[in-house]
Amino acid sequence: MSQNDRIQIDETAKYIFSASKPAIIDLITGIFQFPLDRENVEVSLVSGEFISGTSPFSKYLADIVLEIRRASDTELLVHIEIQTGHDSMMDIRMVRYGYLIGESRSAVIPDRIRVITIPHQVVLYLEEDKRITDELTVRIVLPDGKELDYKVLVLKFYEFTVDKLKDMNLYLLFPLILMKYRKKLTALSRQKRLNQETFDTLV
């Protein structure tokens, strides 16, 4: 993916998540399948930029990080990555983002135990690739031999029709529909003679 493509996707994502609260709540509910009461929920878009604490310093930029506060004072964090195509290191990136987001809001409880809460995460893939799996899993093996599977939800946006988006109340993702056809549209634009039938079919 080119830098220009990355910028276009980032700008679209920022636009999408500047929408009204009800639309964002419908999106979160549709993706993660946990109920949210529109009247008793506040949603905030928070900074996804994180600086590692080790030298040399590195900057990491998560696409979308949302803070959801309910009337019961319980807080949810949601992290959404919008990915054009397959990335072999996406699983590691999501683990890193999850840790950095959790670390930035960590708290020390009695007995001097620091608690890091990992956000709900999803990767939204725009373009089809056979290597994209139904979920991302990283198995973490602790020194005592215990194993922890770190799982991240995957949303294959290229498989979604407009009707399916409507059924899941994912209206907020409509602007991304054209982006999933980026490769086909680019290929058509390079043809010396545009095949009208092919173009009409794609449209």
**Residue with the two structure tokens 């059924």:** 167
Identify which of 5, 1, 26 has the alpha carbon closest to the alpha carbon of residue 167.
26
Is 90 within the bounds of a domain?
yes
Residue 165 falls within a domain, yes or no? yes
Q: How far apart are CA 94 and CA 82, in angstroms?
A: 12
Q: Determine the straight-line distance between the first and last CA of the chain, rounded to whole angstroms.
A: 23
CA distance linking residue 125 with residue 171, whole number of Å: 17
Q: Give the CATH number for residue 92.
A: 3.40.1350
Tens digits of residue pLDDT in 68-96: 987 766 788 999 998 888 999 999 999 99
Retrieve residue 190's tokens.
């390079």
Q: Is residue 99 part of a domain?
A: yes
Q: Which residue type is seen at 7?
A: I
pLDDT at 162: 87
Is 9 a domain residue? yes
Residue type, 90: M
- Closest alpha carbon to 38 in 53, 57, 25, 27: 25
Residues of the chain falling short of pLDDT 50 = none
Domain interval for residue 158: 3-176
The dihedral sign for the CA sequence 101, 1, 92, 159: positive
